[in-house]
Chains A and B, each alone.
Chain A
Amino acid sequence: MTAKIAYDEVEVGTELPAQSFPVTRATLVRYAGASGDFNPIHWNEKFAREVGLPDVIAHGMFTMAEAIRVVTDWAGDPAAVVEYGVRFTKPVIVPNDETGARVEVSAKVAAKLDDHQVRVDLTATSDGQKVLGMSRAVVKLA
């Protein structure tokens, strides 16, 4: 477990490099296969509308997987993430076109904890809406 960032080099408020992730229908089909979550609300527009959604939506777990990349890319070793939790506040709506949707993720160090650990708070939005709430990771730094 060797994070590339040193605990002593970060302070509360340190911002991690923000990232923007594309999501298309093809992305969702691929994620469905890889994760085993074949709920049709993630690929079948007719079904999604029948259950009251505006369109096909991304898997919450896909959004959660994208968001943590801001932390794992920063830390270097994905195993540096010792805790990670989110609340799914709004769905990421994915239109059926070439561009699909985007998930914008930013993060900053919110607290320095014991044992070389820091708490990182994440913000994830899509189309101007906050899609994850209470999104936090505890990361063990070098």
Chain B
Amino acid sequence: MALDQSFVGRTYPPTTPYEVGREKIREFAEAVGDANPAYVDQEAAKALGHPDVIAPPTFVFAITFKAAGQVVEDPQLGLDYSRVVHGDQKFAYTRPVRAGDRLSVTSTIEAIKSLAGNDILDIRGEVHDESGEHVVTAWTKLVSRAPEEA
């Protein structure tokens, strides 16, 4: 069943701030096997001009995807999440995410398309820090695959 086009442009309330911890960044960097010292060593990060350790480029997805849950689980939208796959992902950074950030995400439905029975949902997440400054925008394309013919 095609999703309701009237949801295009809908913006959800900003999420409760997520506090970025040094150890969480370290855990993520270790999980992706990335030994860049800017992720774990404050002095190394400072040598690059950062006030504290920074997060790898894709770290923020954990925060924006959780925020996108507001959209995905909106009962009025009615997306069949059990059939959803991740189609595209893009980030545009004003600055890197760093330890100590308190990040809030505002999610907007940018587009809804139906192609060969697949529902395609584009969600934009605008990430701001506690002072209201923009940190990164994340675009997530989710594809809810058409059910197989019975």
Contacting pair A82 B92 (CB below 8 A): yes
Q: Report the separation of the CA atoms of residues A36 and B59 in the bound assembly, to the nearest whole angstrom.
A: 11
Interface residues of A in 30-83 (CB under 8 A from B): 30-31, 33-37, 60-62, 64-66, 68-69, 72-73, 76-79, 81-83
Task: Answer whether residue B7 sits at the interface, using C-beta atoms and an 8 A cutoff.
Answer: no
Tell me the number of A-to-B contacts counted with CB atoms below 8 Å. 99
Contact B92 A83 (CB under 8 A): yes
Which chain A residue shows the least CB distance to B58? Answer: A65
B85 / chain A contacts, CB cutoff of 8 Å: 88
Q: Tell me if A77 and B48 are in contact (CB < 8 A).
A: yes
Question: Given A2-B48, A35-B31, A37-B62, do A78 and B139 touch, yes or no (CB 8 Å)?
Answer: no
Judge whether A85 is part of the interface by a CB distance below 8 angstroms: yes
- When A34-B27, A78-B36, A79-B95 are in contact, do A87 and B61 touch as well, CB less than 8 Å? no
Q: What is the interface of chain B, defined by CB distance below 8 A to chain A?
A: 24, 27-28, 30-34, 36, 38-39, 48-50, 54, 56-58, 61-62, 65-66, 85-93, 95-96, 139
